Amino acid sequence: MGHKTINKGLVFLIISLLLLFLFGSVVLAQNNGKITAIVVRDNEHIDTKFIISLISSNIGDTFSKDKIQTDMKAIYDSGYFLDVQVKLEPFRDGYRVVFSVKENTLVKDIVIEGSTVLEAQEIKNAMVLDKGQVFSQMILQNDLDRISQLYREKGLILAQLEDIDYNQDTGVLLIKIVEGKIEEIKITGNEKTVDRVIRRHVKVEPGQLFDFNEVRKSLQDVYNLGFFDDVSMKLEPGSAENMIVLVIEVREKSTGLLGGGGGYSTGEGLFAYASVKEANLFGQGQSIEAKLEVGGRTTYSLSFYDPWLGNASSPTFFGLDVYDTFLEVNKQIDGIDSKYEMERMGGKLTFGQEFKEHFKVGIELKSEEASYELISGKLPDNLQAGLTNSLKPFLIYDTRDDRFNPTEGWFGTVSVLSAGGVLGGDYNFRKYDLDLRTYFSTGPIREGYKRDTTISSAINEGVLAMRMMVGYGDTSLPSFAKYEIGGLGTIRGYEYKEFVGDVSLVFNVEYRFPVADNLQAVLFADLGYAWDHGIPITIGDLKFGKGVGIRFDTFLGPISIDYGFGEGDEEGKAYFSIGHTF
């Protein structure tokens, strides 16, 4: 924010300096003799002691023309005076130095014009200069800086203090403010993504004041769509002095992703999965994904998600998932070698809306059919087949600065799943779930909105990420609905689904720090367990895992490789996945 200075004060300064340098008085041509007295005259409102405090010359000093000129300038620079003159008078075997001053007039009124965001009284309250005081150019200058700071804190960085004028005759101080407005918003660089998908995340509109805080949030929201490597802005002049054109520049990236992962569990052996995903279908912001898992189990799934249905004024999201899972199990049951197949087939429909900044509310309707087929031997007694229909309302809170690689903020979900009842099906139960995450930056916050920002290997420039997950079933849950703890996503260092129960508790802590461009190292610690109803829940049951990992960006997306160690495990276990664990 800039502002103009008062020309009248500049004129007086030039005149005074000319008088100082010309110094027509004969007495000032002398540069000898002692100062025997220092006197201030003609001041009406400014205290004499204050003026004397500005003078560096002292009684007893040898008279110095240069030093007297410095004193005159110090008095003038205090901002209270229109003119300062000096003369010498013989006094007690030396000279009396007389400073004659002409004060600025008293301020009778302060008029604020052009401010629509800040009330005039709010601006005046920030000022030191007030009615009834002697006008001071220096105090005014500091006040103008404070006013500029007020606007910057509001995000209005384009506001200008265009016309500052103090009338010595009337005592009226006029401060005219011009607040920069957005004339037009342009979007460039989006060859695939349609403008509408970007514009609906821009929180400012033409005709509004340029609010940098809102523009910055808009850039982050556009980046968080996941369709761009870079999102930035530039400003172009508008048709009038107070108008600007906001240009949002994006650099698109490939949104067709190949994903994958894998692992090992005692029950299912080696398994791997692969997925094909288009995150920006036809440039409309919708996503579609097909996934295949093979190994101990075989799963086919297809998902579709639209984060903003139609032309709704606020984000209204919709999701549809269908899946079919086959698992062949070979195990001894009551001493009999047995073999059977399990199939779980179902789908879910998700619908919700953002109802306030950072908050989303939604509901998930799910139906799943579980069946088992005996091939040889006998089936376990605890297998539960049948139809499960459920309804799960949920609430999401999200203040993360970056949805893909957060450095600060919170993310939380809370949900209640109700199965059976009026929904029908073969099972009736409820599950209550909480997932809470937080992120703290331990170094400088990165600038801009880019994935590739890790350019330092300093460990103190990392991110501390923490998560807590709590799950509670109100009854003994069916086998397919129990909480499955162990492995990637819960407690690394243990086998997948090693701990199964009706109640679960998991804590995760990660410290992520950059070691090179596009490469992060991770130190992690996990703690958790699952209990069946009827078994006392004790802290001593919690299982601890720890380890290290790396995260690096590839054309497939961000790849994660972790190596974890459970209690008493000296060999450890490796995990491979796409994206951060949380």
Residues 430 and 557 in one domain: yes
Total structural domains within the chain: 5
Are 343 and 325 contacting, i.e. CB atoms less than 8 angstroms apart? yes
Domain of residue 542: give its range: 390-582
CA distances from 356 to 182, 360, 403, 480 (A): 25, 7, 18, 35
Closest CA to 88 of 54, 65, 111: 65
For residues 374 and 486, state if they share a domain.
no
Query: Both 497 and 579 in a single domain?
Result: yes
Q: Tell me the pairing of strands 172-178 and 336-356.
A: unpaired
**Residue 397: which CATH number?**
2.40.160.50
How much is the pLDDT for 357?
Answer: 85
- Asked whether residue 416 falls in the same domain as residue 554, the answer is yes
Give the CATH number for residue 240: 3.10.20.310
Same domain, 559 and 495: yes
* Same domain assignment for residues 293 and 355: yes
pLDDT of residue 29: 39
Is residue 1 domain-resident? no
* pTM recorded for the entire structure: 0.74
Residues 284 and 229 in one domain: no
Measured CA to CA in angstroms, residue 518 lies from 478, 483, 513 at distances of 43, 35, 11
Taking residue 427's Cβ as centre, other Cβ atoms within 10 Å add up to: 19
- In a 13 Å sphere around the CA of 453, the CA atoms on its Cβ side amount to 19
Q: Which of 178, 201, 216 is the last residue of a domain?
A: 178
Query: Where do the H-state alpha helices sit in 179-312?
Result: 195-199, 212-223
Cα angle vertex 377, ends 375, 378, to 5°?
Answer: 95
88 domain-assigned: yes
pLDDT in tens, 458-490: 456 799 999 999 999 999 999 889 999 999 999
Tell which of 36, 68, 103 closes a domain.
Answer: 103
CA distance 91 to 232: 72
Q: Does residue 2 sit within a domain?
A: no
Burial of 334 (0-12, 13-18, 19+ CB in 10 A): exposed
Among the listed residues 434, 350, 433, 345, the one whose alpha carbon sits nearest the alpha carbon of residue 388: 345
- CA-wise closest residue to 296 among 327, 275, 319, 274: 327
Q: Which residues contact 303 (CB under 8 A, 6 or more apart)?
A: 287, 288, 289, 290, 291, 319, 320, 321, 322
Judge whether 343 lies within some domain.
yes
Q: Do 354 and 503 fall into the same domain?
A: no
Contact in structure between 417 and 400 (CB atoms under 8 Å): no
Separation between Cα atoms, residue 140 and residue 138, nearest integer Å: 5
pLDDT at 166: 94
Q: Are residues 168 and 194 in the same domain?
A: no
Stretches where the chain sits below pLDDT 50 are 2-6, 8-9, 11-15, 17-30, 445-458
pLDDT of residue 267: 52
Same domain, yes or no: 248 and 260: no
* Residue 234 and residue 307 in one domain: no
Is residue 127 within 8 A of residue 115, CB to CB? The reply is no
Residue 421 forms part of a structural domain: yes
Give CA–CA dist 158/90, Å, rounded: 58
The residue out of 88, 103, 118 marking a domain boundary is 103
Q: Are residues 441 and 528 in the same domain?
A: yes
Q: In whole angstroms, what is the distance from residue 529 CA to residue 532 CA? A: 10
Amino acid code (one letter) for 147: I
User: Is 301 part of any domain?
Assistant: yes
The distance from CA 166 to its chain's CA centroid, rounded to whole angstroms, is 42
What does the pLDDT read at residue 302?
A: 97
The H or E element containing residue 441 is strand 429-441
